Amino acid sequence: MAEQWVPMSEAAYILRSEGFEISASKLSRMARAGEIRAEQDPVDKRIRLVDLIQLRQLFSSSKRYRK
């Protein structure tokens, strides 16, 4: 998988370091609701991967979560 697919917890950490107010639980709720794309890690079935590029675009376009 490309570098853009990361575990939810790592995505939340990266986005927080970039100035977005996002938690892993928020990402989990969004994935469960189908608002963001999430895939299961083929190696470890306990981990869900999210598209970091999609998340950056989504949250940078939002007035609430914008940096």
- In a structure prediction context, what are the per-residue pLDDT tens digits for the chain, which is 67 residues long? 457 899 999 999 999 999 998 999 999 999 999 999 999 989 999 999 999 999 999 998 877 766 5
Which position has the token pair 């490309």? 2
The pTM for the full model equals 0.84
Q: What is the dihedral of CA 56, 24, 37, 40, to 10 degrees?
A: 130
Reported as type and span, the H/E element at residue 35 is none
Domain ranges of the chain: 5-61
* Closest among 3, 5, 23 to 13, alpha carbons compared: 23
